[in-house]
Structure 1
Amino acid sequence: MADTVLREDRDAICILTLNRPDRRNAIDMQLRTELAEELERAMDEREVRVIVLTGAGKSFCSGGDISTMERQSAEKTVPRAQAAQRVIRAIWTGGKPVIAAVEGAAFGAGVSLAMACDRVIASEDAVLSTAFTGVGLAGDMGIFTSLPARVGPAAARQLMLLPRKLSGRQAQALGMVDETVPPGTAMERALSDAYQISAAPPLALREMKKLWRKWSDEPLTMLESEVDAQARLFATEDFAEGVAAFMEKRRPVFTGR
């Protein structure tokens, strides 16, 4: 059985490619399991600083593989749904930034997957749509958290109640996409950003991701969380290196210590 997720390492960057181009990278059980495993592995590897997520062929991800879906009991559905949520948990709880490079279609769970990432680069002619109601579903893979966080609760509600196909540029105007680029260059731009981010202090990036998970907390609780993060970071070698580099007018070299 062919791998449904391919991994390539470039310096401190881990590139994960959904590899079902004949199905427009639709998510079946094998893909969601392999993707979760690869994400968890990359998050645990010290040498990895940034993860880039993309799709093989002409699409990012066309959503869940409808050909593998059928009416079934909740007992059978729960493990399938939890396997999908495991992917999002890996992105959100891991300490490494994840960049989505989106070309072509990102529908349903494909949109959820992209929205779960820390940065989304899309080609101008990419096509994004929530699309869940078309098959009688509400949505999963974190979209009820990630989409409102990006576009606001009211806009997210309308995008899901009245699904429409958005170009990369339209999605950027709403906040679903962080930057659009000419067709065929999303990966190039994502890698450029990844190299820039990989030079940042990894411990600080890890703390950022922890704090972002708390974005909906009560504001005063967030203040305390920020204090805790600063206290941890002030004690690191990376912080000392950053201060020294500033004083010496040179580029800092962060090691994650």
Structure 2
Amino acid sequence: MNKTINILKEGPITTIKLNRPDQLNAMDVELLTELNDELQKIKKDDSKILVLTGEGKAFSAGGDMKTMLQESDPEGFQKVMGIIKNIVITVYSMPKVTISALNGAAAGLGLSVALAADYVIAKEDAKVAMNFIGIGLIPDGGGHFFMEQRLGAVKAKQTIWEGKMMTAKEAQSIGLVDFTADQLDLALSHYLNKLQQSPLQSMITTKLIINNKQLPQLEEVLNQETQGQAKMRQTHDHKEGIDAFLNKREPQFIGE
């Protein structure tokens, strides 16, 4: 068991639980590093199904605000973005069927990572938001790629620009979430049982054929997100968004 993530292995199923419940599983450097390290190991093991979920009341509230403020130097920023890139590419290209089980809120980077999975299922009262815009940033963690895949280009842009917090049902209605359930554990257990009675090798081979074709595009998007995010972090609007967030007030953006 790690400090910031918990790993459970049951037969062909590996479950990763993000484990910073008091911080709504916000992704700091330690969690991102441990998650990346474990994913590299899991990628090579003999499990056939990977579940990503969170401890406590949230899947992940996104990037940890303290980490964002601390990683102000270009070298530290590039290191963190490199770890995020590895996580997303590994989940997306994982030779297993992957499921993100949203036990609660999935926002910002948390949602980007969740969308890297083959299936996204959510508790009905979970909240979902691609809300980088609220602090003057752009999606990272492949958010642009996954939103476009699921929503189409025009709707992806509009949804990112709006940054709206949606219910899981609303997210399902536009295609960001595949299934919702009142009792997530029961729904997940039912689906895992169904998968274990399926020809998983066939499913995984299909996944790899489709996802490997798209992988260069995902890598390019991740690179562009890193460049774009570095620029956004220097803007007046980002600094205003951070100050407004920390002081619990509405930001006053000026487009600069």
What TM-score do you get using the length of structure 2 for normalisation?
Answer: 0.78
Contact 2:2–2:34 (Cα < 8 Å) also in 1 = no
CA distance in 2, matches of 1:162, 1:20: 28
Flag structure 2 segments of 5+ consecutive residues without an equivalent.
217-256
Q: Which amino acid aligns with 1:212?
A: I
Alignment of 1:122-161 (within 5 A): 122-161=122-161
Contact 1:59–1:103 (Cα < 8 Å) also in 2 = yes
Contact 1:13–1:198 (Cα < 8 Å) also in 2 = no
Alignment of 1:16-165 (within 5 A): 16-46=16-46, 48-70=47-69, 72-165=72-165
Deviation at 1:156, TM superposition (A): 0.9
Instruction: Determine the structure 2 residue equivalent to 1:195.
Output: 193
Contact 1:29–1:80 (Cα < 8 Å) also in 2 = yes
Relative to structure 1, the CA distance from residue 55 to residue 216 in structure 2 (aligned partners, 3 Å threshold; closer, same or farther) is: closer
User: Which deviates further from its counterpart, 207-216 or 12-21?
Assistant: 207-216
Contact 1:100–1:120 (Cα < 8 Å) also in 2 = yes
Contact 1:40–1:94 (Cα < 8 Å) also in 2 = no
Deviation at 1:191, TM superposition (A): 3.0
CA distance in 1, matches of 2:199, 2:43: 15
CA distance in 2, matches of 1:177, 1:151: 11
Instruction: Determine the structure 1 residue equivalent to 2:9.
Output: 9
Q: Which amino acid aligns with 2:195?
A: I
SS of structure 2 residue aligned to 1:121: strand
Q: CA offsets, 1:121-154, max 9 Å, x none?
A: 1111110111112222211111111111111111
SS of structure 1 residue aligned to 2:60: coil
Flag structure 1 segments of 5+ consecutive residues without an equivalent.
218-257
Q: Which amino acid aligns with 2:191?
A: D
1:171 aligns with 2:146: no
Alignment of 1:219-230 (within 5 A): none
Aligned residues: 215
CA distance in 1, matches of 2:215, 2:155: 17
Instruction: Determine the structure 2 residue equivalent to 1:233.
Output: none
CA distance in 2, matches of 1:82, 1:94: 18
In our comparison, the structure showing a higher alpha carbon Rg is 1
Instruction: Determine the structure 2 residue equivalent to 1:232.
Output: none
CA distance in 2, matches of 1:189, 1:89: 27
SS of structure 1 residue aligned to 2:58: coil
CA distance in 2, matches of 1:167, 1:102: 12
Give the share of equivalent positions with the same residue, in percent. Answer: 31
CA distance in 1, matches of 2:86, 2:189: 25
